[in-house]
Amino acid sequence: MHQVLYDSRGGNTKKVADAIAGELGVTAVDVKAASLGPGDGVLFLGSGCYGGKPGEAMVKFIEANDLRGRRVALFGTSGGGAGNEVKGMEAAVKGKGAEVIGRYFCKGQMALFFSRGHPNPADIDAARTFAREMAGLESVTVV
């Protein structure tokens, strides 16, 4: 079974997590209340970007778990959309033995105006496609 865990202070990353989980028929769970499930599916981990890094709760979760043999798909949102939160999670999960099978990141509205409206419907559609590709429900798009 696939697992979708998120660290989202403002709700943007939760929107992406809910879209991914909905596509897979599971429920996204706040990483603060989560425990690692069985390793038969893809583990989706997502976070907002805070000071160039993923959230503390996500970092703690990764540090607390043995991810050897796990297939992990990472996602994130940030004001600038550069994906530094995903890079940070990638280094952390690899340090715990995970195999990173893919990444998705998009902009997330910051304060009142910066990246306003993100994640927008196109961002959410792209997240759904990412979910299907990672779960092997759709062939991977070559770009």
Q: Under the rule (CB under 6 A), what is the footprint of ligand FMN?
A: 8-14, 48-52, 77-80, 108-110
Task: State how far the Cα of 83 lies from the Cα of 120, in Å rounded to an integer.
Answer: 16
Residue 35 CB neighbour total at 10 angstroms: 11
71 vs 87, beta carbon nearer ligand FMN:
87
- Minimum gap (Å) between residue 103 Cβ and ligand FMN: 16
Task: State how far the Cα of 117 lies from the Cα of 50, in Å rounded to an integer.
Answer: 19
For CA atoms 15, 102, 2, 95, the dihedral sign is negative
9 vs 60, beta carbon nearer ligand FMN:
9
3 vs 8, beta carbon nearer ligand FMN:
8
- Minimum gap (Å) between residue 87 Cβ and ligand FMN: 12
- Minimum gap (Å) between residue 79 Cβ and ligand FMN: 3
Task: State how far the Cα of 94 lies from the Cα of 91, in Å rounded to an integer.
Answer: 5
Q: Which residue is nearest to ligand FMN (CB)?
A: 108
